[in-house]
Structure 1
Amino acid sequence: MSTPSNDTAPSNDTAPPRRRRDVERNERTILDAAAGVFAASGVGAPVREVAAAAGVGVGTLYRHFPTRSDLVVAVYRHQIEALAEAGPVLLDSAPTSFDAILRWVHQFVDFLGTKHGLARVWEGDADGFTALHTLFVDELVPVLGRMLDAARASGEVVASVSPYQLLRAVGDLVAWSPQDPDYDVRTIVTLLVTGLRQAQPPVTPAPETGA
């Protein structure tokens, strides 16, 4: 029986997992760098700026993400998944459920800060934009819903706002921040979330005025 040669190629059980880990590590580095660049310069920032921030060549970036849309989708998918994973962690580690909600919402604000210029990237690709929004809703609404349920169960939150309504409200507040340098979005969002501690007062109809 012949002895196997030392030149034998590595088996699929050893080399591929190692290569996959390297690929995944490189992709995470690029995605984290892209998120920072997008937050500072918008999603229309030059690809070479992203590559420089990641410490890789432009060719390497394009091997991982052949088009700008591929990179944008990957960045937001990566961040949405991170936000979804952060919810349960914060519920376990924060002093109270309300504190967990506030910290998570601040992370959500940071995420929204990377979306400047997203609509321009998706011009002509309504399906792609819709798919990204669907992922956003499917992943994040249940996470925030569980956090709100925990806070209501402990009596820390009494307002009847739905998780989707709260996400939309925070999104609308963040949308104003690039337009006014004196607008402190974190302060405003904190005021909004703090308001969840209060019951919603009944709405008193305005008095009718005579003709």
Structure 2
Amino acid sequence: MTDTKPLRADAARNRARILDVADAVFAERGTSASTEEIAKAAGVGIGTVFRHFPTKEALLEAVFTAHLRRLAEQAEALSEAKDPGEAFFGFFALIVEQSGAKRAFANALTDAGVDVGRAHAEGAAGLGEALALLLRRAQEAGAVRDDIGLPELMAVLIGASLGAEQAGADPLVRARALGVVMDGLRPRR
């Protein structure tokens, strides 16, 4: 019985390592990167990858939900920041910057027949609440206009994310477009 505990800890470490590496590999090479590439980069055999994630789609889904959970944790941590406005706008920019990768994962999952809505709901549990808290604190600090609620913020966030994708790879265009959106969130003076 005690022999299995080290194996379970090992397995947990391997799983976490595979997820971290898969996230990085997919971010760098796209969702078409192979599980063999991920196994090699993680320093494990392909059998280890498939033991934890029986299909590439299962691995993509796990990376997708883990990414959303990390975003929720980041938002939660930022809700305690000394400068609520800076925390809010920094997190907003982070989500917009990462939206392309998230969309690629969602598209790959959809193509594989995975219920992206379920995966999103599972991974994003708590993200809406944390984002609402960031918004409220930024509004209380006078950094964000007070006539915006979470539904409006989500619509603006989605629009900004799509806008960033349309701006393409030019970082100056992306930054200016994001600046325009963020200016619209600031209080009118």
Asked if TM exceeds 0.5, the reply is yes
Residues 72 and 126 of structure 2 are in contact (CA less than 8 Å); yes or no, is this contact kept in structure 1?
yes
Q: Which residue of 2 aligns with 1:84?
A: 72
Q: Deviation digits for residues 94-143 of structure 1, max 9, x if unmatched?
A: 34111111222233235424232641442262x61221233455432222
What is the identity percentage for the equivalent residue pairs of Structure 1 and Structure 2? Answer: 28
Q: Distance in 2 between matches of 1:48 and 1:39?
A: 16
Deviation at 1:191, TM superposition (A): 4.0
Query: How many aligned residue pairs are there?
Result: 184
Query: Which is richer in helix?
Result: 2
Cα RMSD between the aligned structures?
Answer: 2.6
Q: Which residue of 1 aligns with 2:52?
A: 64
Residues 31 and 105 of structure 2 are in contact (CA less than 8 Å); yes or no, is this contact kept in structure 1?
yes
Match of 1:156 among 120, 143, 157: 143
Deviation at 1:80, TM superposition (A): 0.8
Q: Which residue of 2 aligns with 1:33?
A: 21
TM-score (norm 1): 0.74
Q: Deviation digits for residues 68-114 of structure 1, max 9, x if unmatched?
A: 1110110011111111111121222x341111112222332354242
Q: Is 1:130 the counterpart of 2:117 in the alignment? A: yes
Residues 151 and 157 of structure 1 are in contact (CA less than 8 Å); yes or no, is this contact kept in structure 2?
yes
Deviation at 1:175, TM superposition (A): 2.9
Residues 97 and 150 of structure 1 are in contact (CA less than 8 Å); yes or no, is this contact kept in structure 2?
yes
Q: Is 1:139 the counterpart of 2:131 in the alignment? A: no
Using a 3 Å threshold, how does the CA distance of structure 1 residues 172 and 26 change in structure 2: closer, same or farther? same
Q: Secondary structure at the match of 1:155?
A: coil
Using a 3 Å threshold, how does the CA distance of structure 1 residues 117 and 75 change in structure 2: closer, same or farther? closer
Q: Which runs of 5+ in 1 are unaligned?
A: 1-8, 201-211
Q: Which residue of 1 aligns with 2:2?
A: 10
Which one has the largest radius of gyration?
A: 1
Match of 1:188 among 172, 177, 181: 177
Larger relative contact order (Cα-Cα within 8 Å, sequence gap ≥ 6): 2
